[in-house]
C-alpha cells in the first residue's frame, strides 16, 4: 500500500487562470510528492482559453481542467493551502482549519487589455512568474524528501 501524498490546494477567486496554471506547474514539478488541486471562492465555471494556450507552450495541458468551488475540498484533509490572488487588499479565499498557508500573489492576466498579442504576453508573464515560484517550492519538497530518512 503506497503512502498518501500530502494534499496541496491552490486557491484564487475565479479558479480560471492563476490557480489553474499553478496547479499544472506544481503537478508537473512534484506530482510524485504532492497531490495537487486548485479551486476558487467564486469559480468562473471555465478555465480561460489563454491560460490553456500559454500552458500548452510549456508542455502542460490544462484542457481537461475545470473550475471548482473551494467547498468541494472542505471535507478533505488538506496539508497546505496556497493563495495566488494578486492584490492583498482584494478578497482572496480563506480555507478553514489547521493547514499550512502560503500567499504568493500574482497579477490576474484575465484583466489584461490591449491587442491580442499584448494580452497573451500578460498571460505568459504571469505564467512565468508562477512557474518560477512553484518550481522552487517543488524543489524544496524534493530536497526535503531526499534528506528525510526512509520510513520503516
Q: Which are the catalytic amino acids?
A: 12, 85, 92
Q: φ and ψ at 49, to 5 degrees?
A: -60, -30
Q: How far apart are CA 23 and CA 73, in angstroms?
A: 15
Q: How far apart are CA 142 and CA 135, in angstroms?
A: 10
CB-CB contact of 10 with 19 (8 Å): yes
Nearest-5° Cα angle at 130, 73 to 112: 100
Amino acid at each position: 500500500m503506497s503512502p498518501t501524498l500530502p494534499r496541496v490546494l491552490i486557491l484564487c477567486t475565479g479558479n480560471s487562470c492563476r490557480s489553474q496554471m499553478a496547479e499544472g506547474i506544481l503537478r508537473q514539478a512534484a506530482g510524485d510528492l504532492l497531490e495537487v488541486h486548485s479551486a476558487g471562492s467564486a469559480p468562473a465555471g471555465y478555465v480561460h482559453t489563454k491560460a490553456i494556450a500559454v500552458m500548452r507552450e510549456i508542455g502542460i495541458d490544462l484542457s481537461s481542467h475545470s473550475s471548482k468551488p473551494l467547498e468541494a475540498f472542505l471535507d478533505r484533509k488538506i496539508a497546505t493551502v496556497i493563495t495566488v490572488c494578486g492584490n492583498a487588499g482584494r478578497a482572496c479565499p480563506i480555507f478553514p482549519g489547521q493547514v499550512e498557508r502560503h500567499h504568493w500573489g500574482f497579477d490576474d492576466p484575465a484583466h489584461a487589455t490591449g491587442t491580442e498579442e499584448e494580452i497573451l504576453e500578460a498571460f505568459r508573464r504571469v505564467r512565468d512568474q508562477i512557474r518560477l515560484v512553484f518550481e522552487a517550492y517543488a524543489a524544496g519538497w524534493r530536497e526535503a524528501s531526499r534528506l528525510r530518512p526512509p520510513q520503516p
